[in-house]
């Protein structure tokens, strides 16, 4: 008689094929977490299926939900690393696709509303990050052009007073100074627009946070 393999969970080939057809993701989790090979059957494998597997897999996802979303300052975490949101979106999707999640109406209701909210929050935080970067870049560039304007304008006035250069040279310098000034004005207007956009994004984030807190308050695990 072949020795019993050291696997924590067993199931028949028929049960595995049914699971694979009905819920491929959960079948994959079963293979990965239990090290069950996808080639069945084997004479040493018992035929019964462990009824507690889905519960343990579900508990694992619930634990991740608590550790990575519910028990942390979600907005602070996402703002520090907007890419982290992609992992959380995947986690919520996996939990939503779990069969066991359908047994908890409160959890299912939370996931249905939280999934699109999380995507929106992630996008808004990314937008805020991009706008913050644009504001900083445009402010620095504006200061550069103001400094160049001041320098070229002073040089133009000095050349005009000294009479050492022709009128054409003075006029050319004057145009250059004006060009720097106009660019500084345009960049200042851009900073104002980006700042208003950022403030609007922050208002939307506050609304999202309020919605999230209400969803979390109604969640019963």
Stretches where the chain sits below pLDDT 50 are: 1-10, 32, 35-58
pLDDT of residue 38: 38
Query: Cβ neighbours of residue 16 under 8 Å, at least 6 residues apart?
Result: 27, 30, 36, 38, 40
* Residue corresponding to tokens 């950022």: 198
Contacts of 113 (CB under 8 A, 6+ apart): 211, 215
**Structure tokens belonging to residue 150:** 């001041």
Calculate Rg over the CA atoms of the chain: 31
Paired tokens of 120: 């929106």
Q: Report d(CA 149, CA 147) in Å as an integer.
A: 5
- pLDDT attached to residue 78: 92
Mean pLDDT in the chain? 80
Q: Mind listing the pLDDT tens digit for each residue in 79-89?
A: 888 678 888 99
Q: Is the pTM of this model over 0.85?
A: no
């Amino acid at each position: 008689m072949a020795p019993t393999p050291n696997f924590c969970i067993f199931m028949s080939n028929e049960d595995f094929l049914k699971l694979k057809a009905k819920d491929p993701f959960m079948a994959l989790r079963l293979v990965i977490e239990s090290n069950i090979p996808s080639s069945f059957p084997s004479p040493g494998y018992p035929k019964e299926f462990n009824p507690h597997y889905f519960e343990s897999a579900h508990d694992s996802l619930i634990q991740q939900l608590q550790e990575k979303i519910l028990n942390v300052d979600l907005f602070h975490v996402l703002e520090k690393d907007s890419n982290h949101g992609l992992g959380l979106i995947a986690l919520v999707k996996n939990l939503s696709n779990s069969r066991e999640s359908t047994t908890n109406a409160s959890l299912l209701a939370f996931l249905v509303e939280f999934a699109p909210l999380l995507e929106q929050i992630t996008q808004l935080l990314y937008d805020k990050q991009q706008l913050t970067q644009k504001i900083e870049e445009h402010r620095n560039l504006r200061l550069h052009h103001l400094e160049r304007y001041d320098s070229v304008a002073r040089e133009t006035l000095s050349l005009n007073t000294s009479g050492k250069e022709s009128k054409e040279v003075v006029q050319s310098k004057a145009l250059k100074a004006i060009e720097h000034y106009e660019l500084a004005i345009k960049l200042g207007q851009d900073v104002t627009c980006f700042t208003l956009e950022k403030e609007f994004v922050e208002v939307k984030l506050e609304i999202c946070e309020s919605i999230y807190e209400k969803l979390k308050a109604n969640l019963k695990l």
